């Protein structure tokens, strides 16, 4: 039995892709055997002659890879990958919990919105009922409604979810 050192532990890393190359880069990474998560959402697109539902990347030019540090070069050598995201001079990693929460949000029936605006920290809450039960976040005031803002650390983005205030509980 071999013990893994911290350098051998797989972590989630946000990766910046070339413009409009998220799906192709994701497929290339998967074909290399790298665990990848690309959050997609359905969107109704309007063309001059028709409308069509398409799956679009939820966060433009971003996808997430779960790798060991020694696999970073392999990710960068993948077609469509531009670079890793850096935070305070180091490659940013994300806790498993944040990816699990993002997956939970993407599977929920709630209307979601990604915003690059930096939301002011507010009261910490937990959702006490519904499909997002157990999700934690911060309350913000936006468009005169109570909303849950789930801050994705190290990305510079926030995800805003419209949730009834009756489903929220302070912690």
Give the pTM. 0.77
Q: Which long-range contacts (CB under 8 A, 24 or more apart) does 144-150 make?
A: 149/119, 149/122, 150/101, 150/105
Query: With 70 as the cut, is the pLDDT of residue 7 above it?
Result: no
Does residue 1 belong to any structural domain of this protein?
Answer: no
Alpha carbon distance 77, 66 (integer Å) = 16
Does residue 76 belong to any structural domain of this protein?
Answer: yes
Give the H/E segment covering residue 75: helix 72-76
Say if residue 31 is in the same domain as residue 84.
yes
pLDDT, mean of residues 86-102: 92
pLDDT tens digits, one per residue of 22-71: 999 999 999 999 999 999 998 888 888 999 989 999 999 999 999 999 99
For the chain, the domain total comes to: 2
Asked if 148 and 163 touch (Cβ cutoff 8 Å), the reply is: yes
How is 102-139 classified by DSSP, letter by letter? HHHHHHSSS-EEEE-S-PPP--EEEE-SSTTTT-EEEE
Say if residue 139 is in the same domain as residue 157.
yes
Determine the pLDDT at residue 125.
81
Say if residue 136 is in the same domain as residue 164.
yes
Q: Give the end of a domain, one of 94, 112, 138.
A: 94
Domain of residue 84: give its range.
6-94
Name the pairing type of β-strands 62-67 and 11-17. antiparallel
Say if residue 119 is in the same domain as residue 135.
yes
């Amino acid at each position: 039995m071999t013990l893994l050192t911290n350098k051998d532990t797989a972590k989630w890393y946000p990766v910046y892709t070339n413009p409009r190359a998220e799906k192709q880069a994701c497929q290339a990474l998967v074909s290399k055997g790298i665990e990848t998560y690309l959050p997609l959402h359905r969107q109704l697109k309007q063309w001059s002659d028709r409308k069509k539902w398409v799956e679009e990347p939820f966060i433009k030019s971003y996808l997430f890879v779960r790798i060991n540090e020694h696999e970073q070069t392999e990710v960068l050598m993948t077609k469509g990958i531009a670079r890793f995201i850096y935070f305070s001079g180091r490659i940013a990693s994300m806790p498993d919990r944040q990816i699990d929460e993002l997956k939970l949000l993407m599977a929920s029936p709630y209307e979601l919105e990604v915003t690059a605006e930096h939301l002011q920290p507010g009261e910490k809450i937990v959702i006490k009922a519904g499909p997002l039960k157990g999700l934690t976040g911060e309350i913000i005031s936006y468009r005169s409604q109570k909303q849950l803002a789930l801050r994705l650390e190290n990305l510079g983005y926030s995800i805003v979810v419209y949730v009834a205030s009756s489903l929220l509980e302070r912690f």
